[in-house]
Amino acid sequence: MKRKKLSNGVLIPTIGLGTWQITDKKQMHALLESACEKGYRLFDTAAAYHNEMAIGRALAELPIGREELFLSDKVWNTCRGQGAVRKACESSLKKLKTDYLDLYLIHWPASPRLYPDWAKINADTWRGMEALYREGVVKAIGVCNFKAHHLLELEKTAQILPMVDQLEIHPGMLQADTVAFCREKEIVVEASSPLGNGQILQQEALGRIAEKKGKTAAQICLRWGLQKELVIIPKTANADRLSENMDLFDFHLEPEEIDRIDRMPWCGGIGIDPDEVTEFG
């Protein structure tokens, strides 16, 4: 599995498995067992996914050492602030049956729609993340769904910049300004929902490229993400798709094909605006 170096030297696999909406314990065990066999090592979860216990139990029963795994988790909106972040992390560690996380992320920035002091709230939460990192409880820290202006405000008080920003990125949703800002600050960008909500897989532009390459539309989307130097974490509960989502290294997209995909209009996804999001979940 290829890996990308974070700003602090930690190596993160370039392909991982997203686990959103997968909560059944038996299904999770079978899925992670199959994923490990196929070479997956990065597993992405969140407190809000309500599946940490299922993941922890499954991984504990698999014949693979903790040091081989890269576990990524997220603190939820109701646990903002230094003290709350610590308690949330301790709870997640217990559920995952581990004494450290490879990556810990703030799930959403405080929304300007709800909080006039959103920047102060984000800064206070980030101080809690920095403390966990310094203590070695987490090996790397980052954020999710932070736009460039959120990161600019965070930079004013942060002693350590985020090492990762996990964003919804897929054809039709490039987040170009934020990605460019992250590149400038040496923040690795993770693409969550790299296949959108599935609707993009029906797009003719992707279908034509897929037919030419002898691949699926999903593989074209994922290869596009890799060639844009993203870490991709597609979610699937299908064992066959696990193999398909990993089979991305025997073909290459040409510059004109990348450009054609870049110019695709919005064609399906999650599409939640971090500046407008209300406290849900």
pLDDT score of 48 more than 80: yes
Residue 100 annotated to the active site = no
Give residue 112's pLDDT band: very low, low, confident or very high (50, 70, 90): confident
Residue 280, pLDDT score: 63
Average pLDDT estimate for 188-206: 94
Give residue 191's pLDDT band: very low, low, confident or very high (50, 70, 90): very high
Average pLDDT estimate for 225-238: 96
With b for 16 or more beta-carbon neighbours within 10 A and e for fewer, the 115-148 pattern comes to eeebbebbbbbbbbbbbbbeeebbbbbbbbbbbb
Angle, in degrees to the nearest 10, between helices 239-246 and 25-37? 30
- pLDDT, tens digit, 9 for 90 and up, residues 91-110: 999 999 999 999 999 999 99
Quick check: 106 and 140 in contact, CB under 8 A? no
pLDDT score of 281 more than 70: no
Average pLDDT estimate for 157-185: 98
- pLDDT, tens digit, 9 for 90 and up, residues 259-271: 999 999 999 898 8
Average pLDDT estimate for 205-226: 98
The mean pLDDT of the chain is 96
Average pLDDT estimate for 171-180: 97
- pLDDT, tens digit, 9 for 90 and up, residues 10-42: 999 999 999 999 999 999 999 999 999 999 999
Residue 198, pLDDT score: 83
Q: Name the percent of the chain in helix, strand, coil, to the closest 5.
A: 45, 15, 40
pLDDT score of 278 more than 80: no
Angle, in degrees to the nearest 10, between helices 148-155 and 118-134? 70
d(CA 133, CA 127): 10
Instruction: Name the catalytic one among 49, 100, 104, 133.
Output: 49
149: tokens are: 């202006």
Q: Which of 61-65, 114-118, 130-134, 236-240 has the lowest mean pLDDT?
A: 236-240
Give residue 121's pLDDT band: very low, low, confident or very high (50, 70, 90): very high
Q: Where are the alpha helices (DSSP H) in 135-214?
A: 148-155, 176-184, 204-213
d(CA 219, CA 241): 10
